[in-house]
Structures are given as C-alpha cells and as structure tokens.
Structure 1
Amino acid sequence: MKLHVLDPNVSIQCTLHDEQVICQSNTEQFEVPSNIVTGVCINSSNCLPDMICLTNCEEFDVPSNNPEIGNPSYFNIGWPNCICPDCGALMWYQERVKISSRINPKFSLCCSQGDVVLPPYRRLPQLLHDLYHGHDSRSKFFLDNIRSFNSMFAFTSIGGKIDTHANDGNAPPTFILNGENYHLIGSLLPLPDKPPKFAQLYIYDTINEISNRMAAVGMADDSNAFKSSIVKDIRQALDDCDNPYVRVYTMIRDTVHFQETPTVRLRLLGKRGRDGRRYNIPSASEVAALIVGDFDAADFDRDVVVQTQSGLLRRISTFEPSYWPLQYPLLFPRGEDGYSRGIEFRDNPNKARRKRQFITQLEWVGYTIQQRHKDVSTIVFARRLFHQFLVDSFSTIESDRLRYMRDHQKDLRAAMYKGLTEAIVSGDYVANATGKRIVLPASFVGGARYMIQNYQDAMTICSWAGYPDIFITFTCNHKWPEIVEFLKTHNLKPSDRPDLISRLFKLKLDQLMRDIKEGSIFGKVKAVIYTIEFQKRGLPHAHILLFLAQSHRIVHPDNIDKIISAEIPDMHREPELFSIVSALMIHGPCGEQNKKSPCMPHGRCSKYFPKKFTSHTIIDADGYPVYRRRDNGVYIKKGEHFADNRFVVPYNRELLLKYNAHINVEWCNQSRSIKYLFKYINKGHDRITAGFYNSPDPRSNDAVVDEIKTYYDCRYLSACEAVWRIFVFDVNYREPSVERLTFHLENEQSVIFPDDACIEDILNKPYARCTKFIAWMEANKKYPEARQLTYGEFPTRFVWNKDERRWKPRKRGFSIGRLHFAPPGSGQRFYLRTILNYVKGPTSFADIRTVNNVTYDNYKDACSALGLMDGDAEFVRAIKEASFWGTGAYLRQLFVGLLLSDQLQHPNSVWNSTWEYLSDDIQRI
C-alpha cells in the first residue's frame, strides 16, 4: 500500500534544526523509516524501529506491521508500538501526555510518567510457558479452561456473584461480577464428610490430589489422561517456581500427617521488610508461619490466622501482599507479592514533591496490566483469567472505597451553620450531639446521587443550548483491523485483550469528538454530551447528544437526508460502505422471517423493526423522524435470512467509512422526547436511582436506608468497564462544563465535620464561613462587571477557586451555572432560588430581599414585590422545571405536596397547566 502525504488538506512545514531537516504536519505525526528518505525523519529513542512518527513530502511504502486497510477514509491508529521510556509499556502514540515532547513522548497511563516502579516480571518455568504460548492441543485446552485450572490451585475463593447468563450464545465469552467482592480463605482441613476445596487440596488426601483437584471444578478426565497430565504439569511447575504458599502448605501437610499434631494453625503475615519497588518474590518464612498449640490473637496485629478445621471463612484484607497470589497462582506462579500500602513512589529530584508518599492499588493495577517491550507478562496472555483479574481488581478497589465510606459514616456528620452556633449557646461543645446522617455521596462515580447530578447537569445544558439535534450511539468494534492484526502476532483474539479494546475505543472516541467539534460533518456544534455504557457482552459504547448552533439546525426533512441514511448503499459505486453497512448496520433480521430473534421475546420486535417503506423523509405528528427507505429491491443476505432497507439502522456515511463501527445516527430535535432521551442515555443506572428513590421513608423510626447495599445489588461489572475505570477514563462528558451552584439561607449552610470535632474550631474554618454562595456576594463587592450577572450566569465570566474559597475573573474557557433545585414545599429556600434567577449583583442577604429600595423581611414578600408570584405561576414554573429531570411519579408527589400545603390559590388551574407533565409516564405505558 502506498501512502501519499501531498494532500490538499495536509500542510507541511520543514525547518532546519541541528543540521537535520524536521517536517511537521497539521495531522498526526509519524516517523518515516530512515531507509526511505534521508535527513528528514526523526528517530525517536522510545519507538520501535518501524514505528511511524513524522511525515515528509515523498511517497513511500507503509511498514508491514501496519494493517492493510482497503478503505482510504478509515481512521487507522496503527499498532501500540511506542515504548514508554520509563517502564517499557507498549503504548499508542496518541496516548502520550499532551504536554510532553512530540519527539520523545511521555506516558502516564502505565506508570504516571515513571513515578510508579515495580519489580520486572520473571520468566515462567518451561512447563507453564509452553502451556501459555504453545500451539498444540494441550495449550489450547489449558487456555480455553484457564479459569478452571486456576481454581484448582487457588488458595482463596471469590465472594462476588459471577453472572454466567451473559455467555449464553455464540459471542466471545466475558466475565461479569455482581455485588460486593472479596476473597475468602477456609480452614486447613475440610469438615467431616465434606470434599476439600481450594487451599485444603494442598493438604488433604494428597495421594489422590490430582483427581481431587479436577473433581473440585467438575472436570472429568478422559481415557488417555490428557487433562490430568496438564494438572500434573501445573502442580510440578508451582513446585519448580518455589512458590512460597505451596511450600508453606506442604509444610503443614507434613506436620499434620507425620507428626500428628492436634492443633496447627496458619498465620499469614501481612508485613514485608523489603522495598516493594525492587523485591516482590518473598520466601516461605516471609509469607506465613505455623502456630502449634494455643495463641493470643492480639499478638498478631492484623495478620490472618487460618484455623485447623472449621466451617468459617476468613476474609483476606485487600491490602495484604498475599491477596492476589493466593487467588491467582497461575498469574503469580512464584507467589509474587501483590499490592501493599507501603510501596513508595520513585524518588525523582526533577519533579515537584508529591502530596502522597505511597502508590494506590489503582496505580498498582494500572502498572501491572501493561504489556511491555522486554518483559513477558503472564497476566495479559491469560485470556479469560485476564478478564477475571481485571474485574476482580477494579471491584476490589471500588469495594475498598465503599467500605471506607461505610466505616466512616459515623465520623462525618453534617449540620447547618446556624444550628452549630445555637449548639454553642446551649452548651453543646461536642459535635456528636448534633447533625444528620451522610450516605453514599455524589462524588462516588456510579452512585445514585452521582447519576442524578449528572442528569441534571445535562438538562441544564439542554436549557441553555436548546433541544439536542443529533443523537449518536458509537459502539466499539472488537474487529478493528489494528487490534486484530496486532494480536495475531501473539496468537490472541481481540476478546482476549479487553484492555486494548477499551484503550483503542477511547482513542477513536476522542477523534470522533474532534471531528464533531470541527463542524465539517454536522455543522457548528454549540454543546455536546456523552455517557459511556457497556453492553451485556461487555463492549463499550458511547451515547452522544449534539446541540447544533442555530445557524446549522435542521429545519426541513430534506436536509436530514444529507447527514442520515437508512438505506443499503450501492455495492458497485460504494463497495466499502456497502460492506460496512451489511456487516454492522443491519438489525436482525427479525419479524415474520425470524421469530426467534433475540429482539422478539414477546413475538414483536422491541426496536420496532422492520420499519415501513417510505419514499421521502418526513416528521410524524409526534415529532419523530421517519427516514427515507425506498422499496428499490436492494437487499443483503444475513445467514439464512434476507434484509432490505426496512432493517437498516440509520447512519452517517462519513462516520461509518472513517470509523468502521456500528454508529447509529438519529435526528431528535423535538421537545416531547427529550426527557426520555436523557433517561435512555443513563438507562444503565436506572436500577440504582430507582433504589434510591424507593428507599423507606427516612422519617420512620425503623427505616433502614442503605444506599451502598442498593448500589452493590445493582452493580454488574465486566472486564472492559473495569479497564475503563482503572485508567480513569471519562464516564460522563459535557461541553461546556456545568458549575453546580449551592445556595442557602443566612447562616444555614451545610457544614461537614468529624464526629469528635470541637464546634468552635468548626465555626472558624474557612469552608464553614465562606461558601460558594457567600463568595459570590463578596465578588460582587470587588468586581463591577460581576454586578451585571445573576448567580446562574456568574460561571460564564468567573471561575470558582476551591482552595482559596473565592471567585476569580475567567481568563479562558466557558462554563454555565446550575442552581440546585428547591421544591415549592421547602419554604423560604424556594423563594430565595426564585429571586436568584432574576437579581443581579447583590452584596448581602439583605440586598437579595431588597426591591425598589425596600428591604423585605422574607424572600416570599420580595418575590411578590418583584411580580414573581402572579397567582400560582411560580408553582407552575417549578413543576415544569422539575419535569426536565424528574419522573412522572416525582412530579405527582410534588403536586400532591402543594395541595396538602394549602399554598395553591387555584389548584384546578395549576392542574390544567401541568397535567401533561404529571401524567407523562402514564401516557407512554
């Protein structure tokens, strides 16, 4: 394949630097192999020799390690051939830290630019190496059943619920975990009449050890002992590795059987005396000790003590170095230490001192799951066991966070500032005498409050930018040629490497966002929102909403055809597009010709396919587009079925050719569906928020509201999502950003404080006295231009500095403000919020209540003076505002609350103005 860079859209500038000609282009940079053009290429020390980094003005052959792409429009990222100069991880050039040198890129995804340093991998013993990397039937059977083989030799069990339903069918297998996760270890010996499991297999009935291990996972041997021979080789390999845990259990076996000691216990040691950055292979004496006879548990600090014979299971702390090697002997065959709290960052005198001294488990995992240029990592070649390790890793990290929040609920309490000052007056000096309970906070990603806050932020953008115009669903294609060709060289399939799938999807999504914002596809974009979700099979996809500028909005159905098609393209004029549509954009087929399609559980397609033929695109009476689908006799064959234009998922031609993925593009500029559109892009967390709203009434004495348990019950984690979260990729994205604006009545701001804090100390803290709301009024005193803005408009011109607790004039960027909602039943807070939507430049609470030089006693009277309480208009406005994000049930509760409060002057009039919002969900049942 020839690549010609003399393209009218590519500008190239060449300069002389240190007697070398350096060429830069306005596209991604890449390096030309030095044997093609002399003197114009930059050889980067941390890229492989055939890595592409810069362009020149000549025509040349693409190096053979870049996959052949028949479609010239396709956005080919290439292979992850850049080598991190700090840790040796294979990275894509586009993953570089943007502020690093373009010639010698630095990377943070793998090792935080060299701050995280862990011992290198050691080569596997030959027996295990042949099983992992062989090409014979033994290796294939081992890799296909690697999770079962790992369970045979694991010392601990997983506490979460493994969801096997996702693996029904012919799609690539995945690993999904539900609920709280933890690792458990049982007693040294099984109870009478109970078969041995996990670590007990190293001690009990070792004469029949191989058959016992196979029976433990339900694996039956064949006549020629093919499977048992693999089990024997693994057992021998662990001995050859000198695995310290195997050695310890062998010692226990000898002690129990030969010395007939009645009570032997095992103490798993949690501390290591060596530097975790350099040494991670402990000896047997470093990982455990035998206890003979009685003992005092207080002497063993936090070490785990395993009993001789008991039905009880002990939980292993996630901070124990033995946590990972006990569960994954096939990933850590030498018993390499896992994460522990004492691993320090690398000393680097050229960098500013870090606030933290030790690495986190998240950073340890992010480093551990990388494929490196010289090290042969066992983990990334473990296929389905790699899936399990990824899910286990992030669920462990998340469980640690949730456990911390649960354990510290009583330590963090909140109360109004005014209440604390009154407590001082009444003689209560200790904080635990006042306050209210705190549960799962909005800062926890994926929790109910997090989802609700993001949903309301999205609706704020909608209020500012108008209704969205385009709805895009971009789904990862696990058969992208870059990843398929790269993994062929390692005898792997894309489904074996969810880490690469997620990373590549993120790079493609970032480029898609750049294309959209550039405006060449849909026109000028005013705002964009996306959320990331993961399919039942685990693959990531993005739901994207585009808000176009007024000058580029689509007002006529004929213009929809210019950007959206719902027809099969001509296979002779556009063969590449025809191939992509045929492979990725055909629904089903379902209906009469295939009643067994998964989309027809009740005999009717849940996606309403097949659509009707229509010769022109129209907008129906409900405001939904009916795309052009002509009955032109064109069809494709999918399996045993045929599909015509009625089964085509709407798409955009340019996006499909460039990204070669399922990209559903829909026009959506109509108001009646907007709330349901936003609910759809957040549907993955509906059960979480439903559990939040359906919690018992907290006012009842016996109410138990456990938001953490609700989250666990609704949480299903796949390998791709685990990777996404480990690398801290965005789950929600908004542009422009939304500044959440808190407000409160005078001296009634919420204050968070430790349970045993002194109240006088709390009152003297800056965060207690100077809130974002109070700082706004202070800024109005200092900056004349600030007095021209309402509170909600303030973030467009000013930036909140959390550390300094003050607003500063904005120098760059843009943001819009969102005032927290206050229901009509909240009394003066409701009227205060109503005024804040109109008043500009107040410098005190009294200023807010001042109208025409008259200061009113309360905000309700001030609202009346401003003409904001014309009959029941403010209550109608409140219901309509809440309808943007609230469910129909919530709106009905709001309306009933107004009726019971006796605040409505004309309830019938309010009902007539709002009944469509109150019954919105009922209409659609």
Structure 2
Amino acid sequence: MWNEERNNKSSKNSTPTFTMCCKDGQVKLPAEKRPPPFLASLLSGGEKFDHFRLNIRTYNSLFQFTSIGGKIDRKINNGGGPYCFKLNGQKYHLIGSLKPKNGQPAKFCQLYVYDTENEIENRMNAAPGSEVLDPDIVEGLIKMFDENNQLAEGFRYARDHINLGKIDDFSLLLISSKSASGRKNQVGPSNEVATLVVGDSDDTFPFRDIVVQTKQMYLKRIYVTCKHIMQLQYPLLFPYGDDGFYLDILLHNKKPKVPDENVSDLYPDETQHKTTVTMREYYAYKLMIRPEEGMNLHLGGRLWFNAHTFFDDCGFPVYRRRRTGLTVTKKKVELDNQYVVPYNRDLLGFDIHHRFPTVERLPVHLEGEKSVSFKQYENLQDVAEKDKKRFNKLEGWFEVNKNIPEARQFTYHQFPQNFTWKQDQNRWKIRECGTVFGHLSDVHESSGETFYLRIILMHIKGVTSFKYLRTVNGIVYNMYKEACDALGLLKDDKQWDVAMTENSNHAMPFQLRQLFVFILSNNQVADPLKLWQQLWKAMADDVLYSRRKISGNVNLQLSESDIQLITLIDGYNELIFPF
C-alpha cells in the first residue's frame, strides 16, 4: 500500500494502518498460489505469450464449466451502429447435464466427461473463433487442469464412472459445506470437493452448491454466493479450482454469529457485516499485489499496452496505453500504465467518479403484488407469512404518513429527499444528511392499472393505503384509471408526454417509434398531432442514417416531411413486425 493510503494520516509518527487491502488486518485469506508452470509461461512472457494473450478469452471459453445466461434484448441491433450486447435484468451463470443430448455435441462441463478420447478436437470445435487456436496449447491446458484443478477432478471422476458402465443415472455434487465454514449438516470431509450420488439428491444435501445430473432437461442456475462460481466460469484465472468467496468467511478473531430464528437471511441485521467478510472486502484483498504470492488475476487480465485508441470489429473502443517509460515500484513489483483503469467507478476504494446526486429507486406495484425474494430451499408459505410483517418502500411510505403528520407534505418520489429507507428495519427514517432523489420504477403503458397507479403516485401526497389512492372527493373508485380521470390527470395527454419524454432520455429511436404507435393504437389521445410535433425529432434520430445505409448513398438528403413520413411508417412496421 502507498503511505498516503493509510488510515491514520493525521499521525505521522505512528505505525500506518490500512483498510482497503484487508480492513486493518481483519481480513485474512489463504495465500494465492502461483499458477502452474505451463500457464505461467503463457502468462509471463513464454514462447507463445503473444498468441495466448491475444486469444485468452477464447482459450478460457474452451475450458469453462458454465455458460452465461440472461434475458437478451435482440431487438437493439435492428438498426444501424455497432453491435450491442444487452441483457435485461440480471446476468447469471448456468450449468447443464453431464451428458449431451443425443446427436448434440458436448459443450462446457460435458467436455470434461463425454468422448474425452477426442478431447482436443471437441474443445476446439466448441467455441467460435477456435480455428486460430494452437492445439498444443489446448493439449497442455487439458493436462494442466487434470493435474491441478480440483473441479476438473470431480468431473473426471464422473467420467470414469460413466465409462465403467455400472451406473447410468447419478448426480455429481460440488460440495459447499466444509468444516471451516461453521455450517451444520456437513456433507463431507474438509478436503472433499465433489461426490457422486445415485438417484435423487434433493433432500439429502440442503447446503450443496451445485448438483449436476447425467440426464437433465434444463439448465440450472448457479447463484452468485456459490463459492465456485468464478472458478467455474474463469478457469484460467483460477487454475486450481480452489474455494472462492462465500457468505460465512469470518473476519480475523471473530466468532461465528449465533443464528437468530427471527432474522431472515434476506433481511440481516446491522451487525452482520461486523463478523463476516463481504464480497467487496474479499476481492479487494485478492486484487492487492503481494509479490510473495501468485498474481494470476493481474497476469490474466486484458489491460495490455496499446499505441493508439481504436475500435474493434464490433465498434467498441480499445483504449490507448501510452508507453511513457514511467514506472513505479511497489513492494518490489514494477508497475506502469497497464495497471491504471481510469474508467472504473471505484478503484479499490478510491472515489474515481460517481453519479451525483444519489437516486433512490422506488417500487410501484398493485396491492398484493409486491416482489418477494427467497432462497430455493425456503418454504413458500413461510416466506409469504414472514413478508406480511415486512414493508417495502411503498408500504413503508403509507405507514409513515399514518404516524408522522410532517411526512404528508411530500409525494412518493419527493420522499427520499427528506427520509432515509432503513433496509434492516423495513421503515423510513427522517433524513439527517445527504442529498437523495427518488425515481419511481418505470412502468410500460401496456401494464394497465399499474401504469395509472404510477401516475397517481407522482401527484398525490399523504397517502396511507392503496384504497386512499383510488379515492377522489370521497368517492372510492374500483380502478386506478378511473381515479386518474377523476383527478383530471388524463385530460391533456400529459401522461403520454411524460412517458415519451422520460423514455427519450435512454431509449433508441426505433423503441420510441414503437411506443408512440402503441400509445395511439391502444389509448384515447386527445391531440395526437401535438404529441407528434413535440417528440417526432427524437423518434427520427436514426432515419437519415438508415436510409443512407439502405440506399448505399452516403450523400443522400431527405426533406423534413419525408423524414416524418418514414418515421411514422417505420414505427408501425417495427411494432407489427418486430423481427
């Protein structure tokens, strides 16, 4: 650590202490092993260093056990511009069966089990772009993982049982519980990583990380708290398959916390972080440079020198790394520009850049339809009963308005400016410091009643219940749309103007065109021409470019009336024929 990174800067004569690297000595993790010799030569200047560095992602994909999943937005590339990979919601990792389906080639974890007599060829055929790879490197990596990687060892163990032909249907369990974790229901000795179970294992191992079956008709999700998630996805960065981060790693000299039946894992109390290592603390520790340990995470990175900033084949920038010749030595390690990442939001605890002010996301949902999170082994009835006693931000707003008269002067989205949400207590508390703005979750116009509920929430103060939101001048309406109309919120097309304006800040032009056509087709718009005149330019932003691309004429010019007409036609076609 640099001396200026110490905590006790005010005292120049005292022994410096540091927080970023190890939480002032409270985080102590096993030493990082140096990579096996074969991988070390590929990462640290060996004969095939340049080739391996250029193709490291493809090599990693040949040996990863899992795939990346998510809800992919395929419409975003319908227009012009560089290719964009967009996931809606959360990215997650998936693992399939031990055997491929009949007639299908093996991939991911199956490559460790199926037809390993032709493994080099199978792996090189499994990933796009593998034609440029070196078969000798692939062969060397296979041998390296077989000799060193404990996860690979588990899958090879399954292969041997399949080849013996004695068992046709079984499961491979990658074990989560170890004696060091402090968990009950330990399923194996502390040095056991994988085991085979014949038949159904669902009720046998409640704390398993992963169960992989010989015959499985769907992909299973691997959760972010699984201690093998990074090792399965990035085997070249974690060549030994050792344990990664998990929830129960204790801080140094801390005792395991006594479980409290009244506190759910989903709603931990405020003292939880005082006994265990957080994910950020874990990786901050691992990313610190310790010359006496292995530095695989640094050697395997993609932060290499470039003489110029340029765009790759998909249109994304690869940033320039100047060869200035300037270096610094830190703990006997020479560092230069490749270790600086200026576009990171937070570089090992230093504030590089932040969004200001903070935005508090506020949920919007109908009565009885709030989102509830739970673990896969929890009883759904118990989850539902417990959650009845816990308020989310919307329900908590109702409760504060019932009990604190001063709170009734704010709308829902104004509330975070004056109150702080306490997640551990499920309640709002009067704000003491800081600047925070509220943003109601986006709701599409096709969502019906939820859309009109959001409109009311933007305007009404002092709300104490869902029924209150449907009450206007003493009349309780059955529908939120009726309440909106009674409040006069639907008379001047303001809701459509707001919807289009909000989306124009982040949506692509073709998405705005689809939204405009949808609004006109499914709603009563008082003045469609006025709405069009206010917003058509945002919807037409890519029309001239797309027509130049279609015609092959880069000098093509269109009149304003032509652009407006094309924009309307494209909006209709894109909504009716989205693909």
TM-score by length of 2: 0.54
Alignment partners' CA distance in 1, 2:384 and 2:131? 67
Task: Pick the aligned partner of 1:775 from 385, 388, 400.
Answer: 400
Mark the CA change 1:199 to 1:384 in structure 2 (over 3 Å): closer, same or farther: farther
Mark the CA change 1:230 to 1:332 in structure 2 (over 3 Å): closer, same or farther: same
Instruction: Look up the match of 1:271.
Output: 176
Alignment partners' CA distance in 2, 1:196 and 1:740? 40
Task: Pick the aligned partner of 1:917 from 515, 531, 534.
Answer: 534
Verify the 8 A CA contact 2:171 2:199 in the aligned structure 1.
no
Verify the 8 A CA contact 2:96 2:219 in the aligned structure 1.
yes
Residue 292 of structure 2 corresponds to residue 374 of structure 1: yes
- Cα deviations by residue, 1:234-275 (Å, 9 ceiling, x for unpaired): 455446x54445555666777777xx5543767334134332
Partner AA of 2:179 in structure 1: R
Mark the CA change 1:213 to 1:358 in structure 2 (over 3 Å): closer, same or farther: same
Instruction: Look up the match of 1:304.
Output: 211
1:431-470 to structure 2, matched below 5 A, reads none
Alignment partners' CA distance in 2, 1:348 and 1:369? 23
Instruction: Look up the match of 2:502.
Output: 885
Verify the 8 A CA contact 2:106 2:114 in the aligned structure 1.
no
Alignment partners' CA distance in 2, 1:328 and 1:354? 29
Instruction: Look up the match of 1:143.
Output: 53
Alignment partners' CA distance in 2, 1:765 and 1:243? 44
1:120 Cα deviation after fit = 1.3
Instruction: Look up the match of 1:120.
Output: 31
Mark the CA change 1:814 to 1:476 in structure 2 (over 3 Å): closer, same or farther: farther
In structure 2, stretches of 5+ residues that fail to align are 73-82, 183-187, 258-269, 305-316, 374-379, 478-485, 504-511, 541-562, 568-579
Instruction: Look up the match of 2:356.
Output: 734
Task: Pick the aligned partner of 2:419 from 788, 794, 799.
Answer: 799
Verify the 8 A CA contact 1:791 1:836 in the aligned structure 2.
yes
SS in 2 for 1:122: coil
Alignment partners' CA distance in 2, 1:213 and 1:477? 31
- Cα deviations by residue, 1:62-111 (Å, 9 ceiling, x for unpaired): xxxxxxxxxxxxxxxxxxxxxxxxxxxxxxx4xx88x9868646444x55
Alignment partners' CA distance in 1, 2:116 and 2:363? 66
Q: Percent identity?
A: 20
Residue 99 of structure 2 corresponds to residue 479 of structure 1: no
Residue 418 of structure 2 corresponds to residue 500 of structure 1: no
SS in 2 for 1:500: coil
- Cα deviations by residue, 1:23-76 (Å, 9 ceiling, x for unpaired): xxxxxxxxxxxxxxxxxxxxxxx53xxx6x4xxxxxxxxxxxxxxxxxxxxxxx
- Cα deviations by residue, 1:340-384 (Å, 9 ceiling, x for unpaired): 4543444449x9832586556666555545543532221221145
Higher-Rg structure is 1
Residue 222 of structure 2 corresponds to residue 330 of structure 1: no
Instruction: Look up the match of 1:184.
Output: 95
Mark the CA change 1:202 to 1:148 in structure 2 (over 3 Å): closer, same or farther: farther
Verify the 8 A CA contact 2:149 2:241 in the aligned structure 1.
yes
Verify the 8 A CA contact 1:270 1:320 in the aligned structure 2.
no
Partner AA of 1:158 in structure 2: S
SS in 2 for 1:120: coil
Alignment partners' CA distance in 2, 1:911 and 1:214? 57
- Cα deviations by residue, 1:106-131 (Å, 9 ceiling, x for unpaired): 444x5566555432112234343333
Task: Pick the aligned partner of 1:287 from 193, 201, 204.
Answer: 193
Partner AA of 1:268 in structure 2: L
Partner AA of 2:39 in structure 1: L
Instruction: Look up the match of 1:526.
Output: none
Mark the CA change 1:773 to 1:742 in structure 2 (over 3 Å): closer, same or farther: farther
Partner AA of 1:287 in structure 2: V
Alignment partners' CA distance in 1, 2:387 and 2:84? 47
1:855-874 to structure 2, matched below 5 A, reads 857=474
Verify the 8 A CA contact 1:189 1:200 in the aligned structure 2.
no
Mark the CA change 1:858 to 1:376 in structure 2 (over 3 Å): closer, same or farther: same
Instruction: Look up the match of 2:546.
Output: none
Verify the 8 A CA contact 1:741 1:772 in the aligned structure 2.
no
Partner AA of 2:52 in structure 1: F
Partner AA of 2:502 in structure 1: W
Alignment partners' CA distance in 2, 1:300 and 1:504? 43
Alignment partners' CA distance in 2, 1:149 and 1:844? 56
1:47-62 to structure 2, matched below 5 A, reads 47=2, 53=4
SS in 1 for 2:48: helix
TM-score by length of 1: 0.37
Alignment partners' CA distance in 1, 2:130 and 2:29? 37
Mark the CA change 1:266 to 1:832 in structure 2 (over 3 Å): closer, same or farther: closer
1:141 Cα deviation after fit = 3.2
Mark the CA change 1:373 to 1:891 in structure 2 (over 3 Å): closer, same or farther: same
Verify the 8 A CA contact 1:156 1:185 in the aligned structure 2.
no
Partner AA of 2:299 in structure 1: F
Alignment partners' CA distance in 2, 1:320 and 1:743? 31
- Cα deviations by residue, 1:590-629 (Å, 9 ceiling, x for unpaired): xxxxxxxxxxxxxxxxxxxxxxxxxxxxxxxxxxxxxxxx
Verify the 8 A CA contact 2:65 2:95 in the aligned structure 1.
yes
1:333 Cα deviation after fit = 3.0
Alignment partners' CA distance in 2, 1:779 and 1:338? 46
Verify the 8 A CA contact 2:161 2:167 in the aligned structure 1.
no
Q: Which moved more, 1:189-198 or 1:364-373?
A: 189-198
Instruction: Look up the match of 2:65.
Output: 156
1:286 Cα deviation after fit = 1.1
Alignment partners' CA distance in 1, 2:229 and 2:451? 53
SS in 2 for 1:875: coil
In structure 1, stretches of 5+ residues that fail to align are 1-45, 54-92, 164-173, 387-474, 514-729, 849-854, 861-868, 901-906
RMSD: 6.6
Verify the 8 A CA contact 1:247 1:284 in the aligned structure 2.
no
SS in 1 for 2:341: helix
Alignment partners' CA distance in 1, 2:455 and 2:167? 72
Partner AA of 1:772 in structure 2: W
SS in 1 for 2:356: strand
Partner AA of 2:321 in structure 1: K
SS in 2 for 1:917: helix
Instruction: Look up the match of 2:41.
Output: 130
